Amino acid sequence: MRLFSKSFVLAALIGSCFCTTALAADPEDPELVDIGSLDFEEMLSTSLLVVHHIHRKGEWMVSYEFSHMAMTDVLDGQESVSLDQVHEDFMTSPVSMTMQMHMAHLMYAPSDRVTLMVMTHVMSNAMTNQPFGMKEFEVKSAGFGDLELMAHWSAIEGKVHHLLVLPGVSLPTGSIKRRDATAMGPNQKLPYPMQLGAGTLGLQPGVGYLGQTDQWSWSLDLLPRLYIGNNSADYRLGNRYKVAARVSASPFPWIAGGLGLRGQRVDKIAGQDEELMPPMTPSAVADNLSGERLEGVVTLAVQLPGKLDGVVVNVEGALPVYERLDGPQLATAFTLKGGCSLTWAF
């Protein structure tokens, strides 16, 4: 939990700085207005800059997002580990991996204080492995991930400051039975990072803070995910604890940019998939798949003009600034995201 604690403190400090900066923009008349009455907020509410937000009653939003995460280099703790060092304990070492996701979100606001969301995604994973004394080989998996449902409830509403309660649940629609050819032969069960879902229910008792003036927006999200019970393969993914802090500015009504930090702590897997053979690769060892990461994030959102003013296009890039992994694992190199969204009301 060390990174989660550090990330929480960092995010809280950054959020306080964001608040002070925004309120100091015009100390005599900061022109504070209700959320939802500004073009800037309308754009933010459909972009990656404010991930969790409230829509007006009767509004709908549909969005598409593509993400690409690249992983290279093997870390044990914070130290880089060579392939030869991994081969001292395992027959095969991971070399690199890519994770791609196509995500679709649908949001609807039955009231001014509640917005409902459903999110589904299609995943595509590819991992390159190096067996001892043999040629590299690649394994792949693809398909739907777990379905996510979430409510956004504005528990406290002010002219600038808003507290959001974010209860959510993930449903086990992603496969935990993906197989591919490996160095051990055809049709082998793939290790945990290559599976598409948790195989069990996940609860997300989240909370978020959102603040805004005429040209500034700042947010802080705390999003734990707690998995309930073992799945059909007799293991349970480790709980995940996420924290994210952002500040966003809009120099013009049609564009906004943001900077932030995003931290995550992943606990160890409980149990063991008996089809996997831990001596073969560290990716099959349940105790090896926990760790902590802190990323710096840059985001840009552009609102299209004219009749397309309900459409927002956004891009995001993230680089790790700190990472500690429990056991030999692939480290994150970078993450890129891009997407668009459409908001309308009947």
- pLDDT at residue 1 tops 60: no
Residue 307 confidence (pLDDT): 83
Bridge partners, residue 128, by sequence:
96, 138
Q: Is 156 exposed, middle or buried (0-12, 13-18, 19+ CB in 10 A)?
A: exposed
Structure tokens at 123: 């995943």
183 alpha carbon, distance to own chain's centre: 32
Residue 308 confidence (pLDDT): 86
- pLDDT at residue 111 tops 50: yes
Please state, for a pLDDT cut of 90, what percent of the chain lies above it: 73
Bridge partners, residue 129, by sequence:
94, 137
User: How large is the average pLDDT for residues 331-337?
Assistant: 98
Question: How far is the C-alpha of 243 from the C-alpha of 209, rounded, in Å?
Answer: 11
All structural domains of the chain with their residue ranges: 2-345
User: How large is the average pLDDT for residues 137-152?
Assistant: 97
Predicted confidence (pLDDT) per residue in 11-55, tens digit: 443 443 333 333 333 333 333 223 333 344 444 444 445 556 788
* Architecture of the CATH domain 2-345: Beta Barrel (2.40)
Handedness of CA 247, 213, 106, 222 (dihedral sign): positive
Among residues 153, 230, 233, the alpha carbon closest in space to that of 189 is found at 233
User: How large is the average pLDDT for residues 215-244?
Assistant: 95
Please state, for a pLDDT cut of 70, what percent of the chain lies above it: 85
The Cβ of residue 171 has, within 10 Å, a number of other Cβ atoms equal to 15
Residue 270 confidence (pLDDT): 97
Residue 189 confidence (pLDDT): 97
Among residues 222, 203, 82, the alpha carbon closest in space to that of 146 is found at 203
User: How large is the average pLDDT for residues 315-323?
Assistant: 97
Predicted confidence (pLDDT) per residue in 245-277, tens digit: 999 998 888 899 999 999 999 999 999 999 999
Question: How far is the C-alpha of 234 from the C-alpha of 287, rounded, in Å?
Answer: 15
Residue 56 confidence (pLDDT): 87
* 231: phi then psi, degrees, rounded to nearest 5: -85, -175
**What integer best gives the mean pLDDT of the chain?**
86
Question: How far is the C-alpha of 208 from the C-alpha of 42, rounded, in Å?
Answer: 18
The Cβ of residue 26 has, within 10 Å, a number of other Cβ atoms equal to 13
* 61: phi then psi, degrees, rounded to nearest 5: -140, 135
CB 281 within 8 A of CB 97: no
Among residues 289, 275, 284, 324, the alpha carbon closest in space to that of 91 is found at 284
Bridge partners, residue 67, by sequence:
101, 337
- pLDDT at residue 203 tops 90: yes
- pLDDT at residue 88 tops 80: yes
Q: Is 158 exposed, middle or buried (0-12, 13-18, 19+ CB in 10 A)?
A: exposed
Among residues 220, 214, 314, 309, the alpha carbon closest in space to that of 261 is found at 220
